[in-house]
Amino acid sequence: MTTRILYSLCGTDESRPFSPHCWKVVLALRHKGLDFVEKPTPFTRIPALEDGFSKTVPILRDGNELIRDSFDIALYLEEHYPDRPTLFGGEGGKALSRFVERFSQSIVHPAITGIAVADIHDILGETDQVYFRSSREKMLGRSLEDMRSGRDAAVAGFAAKLEPVRQTLAFQTFLGGDAPLFADYILFGALQWMRITAGAEVFTGDDPVGLWFERCLDLFDGVGRSVTAA
């Protein structure tokens, strides 16, 4: 039997893994019907994983193979498990998923950072808090306290950033069409990160994006719901 390990990210509570990129991989593995063991790891222990293989998670060990980066992991799974349900629906799907990744990374992630960064700090252990504060304050050019004071405005402005997704969902049930593909899991990962760390209510009850997110939470026996909202 293949040993498949997904190294993911957690704060003090190992039962609440929260990394967006790791959630993408959880859904990709479930989509392919592949068993795995998840090992949630605090930030400052990531560099020691698998003899220093990667500075970031997710890391997937699949037997003797080690793969880093969520998109590369999805490509690897597609290539090595071609008989399982497709994550991309062909080469065009791979290219278009890259657009969804860049949209998520450049528009959605900064917006979520504005909402959740101080909350993330608060769920980390002491060593991680020191690392997180200094690395994030340097990256953002602002203190975590300053970020926290902008939280309400960030929540209020969030839903509008997803207007292209909202309009797309008027044509189809998932970004992938009638059924979800990796593109859905990319955006799901971002919203799941916010749900678990900040629990912010960013959508009105009838917002198609919120309804799509609920559909994603239902996938694969509700694996996304196995971790409750903050």
Ligand X SMILES: N[C@@H](CCC(=O)N[C@@H](CS)C(=O)NCC(=O)O)C(=O)O
Between CA 76 and CA 83 the distance in angstroms is: 13
Contact 148, 114 (CB under 8 A): no
Closest by alpha carbon to 10, among 44, 39, 40, 38? 40
Which residue, 65 or 152, is less far from ligand X as judged by CB? Answer: 65
Chain centroid to Cα 22, Å, comes to 5
The phi-psi region of residue 9 (left if phi > 0; otherwise alpha if psi is between -120 and 50; otherwise beta) is beta
Q: Binding ligand X by CB under 6 A: which of 4, 30, 45, 69?
A: 69
Work out whether 11 is an interface residue with ligand X (CB under 6 A).
no
Binding of ligand X at residue 43 (CB under 6 A)?
Answer: yes
Question: Which C-beta is closer to ligand X: that of 9 or that of 27?
Answer: 9
Residue from the set 6, 29, 46, 175 that interacts with ligand X by CB under 6 A: 46
137 binds ligand X (CB under 6 A): no
Q: Least distance in Å: CB of 57 to ligand X?
A: 4
Between 18 and 174, CB nearer to ligand X: 18
Binding of ligand X by 70 (CB under 6 A): yes
Q: What is the spatial distance between Cα 34 and Cα 110, in angstroms, rounded to a whole number?
A: 32
Residue nearest to ligand X (CB): 56
Which span sits near ligand X by CB under 6 A: 18-26, 106-114, 195-203, 208-216? Answer: 18-26
Measure the CA–CA gap between 69 and 175, rounded to whole angstroms: 21
Tell me how far CA of residue 147 lies from CA of 11, 109, 136, 140, 154, in angstroms.
20, 14, 11, 9, 10
Work out how close the CB of 120 gets to ligand X at its nearest, in angstroms, rounded to a whole number: 10
Q: Point out which span in 68-76, 120-128, 145-153, 160-168 binds ligand X (CB under 6 A).
A: 68-76
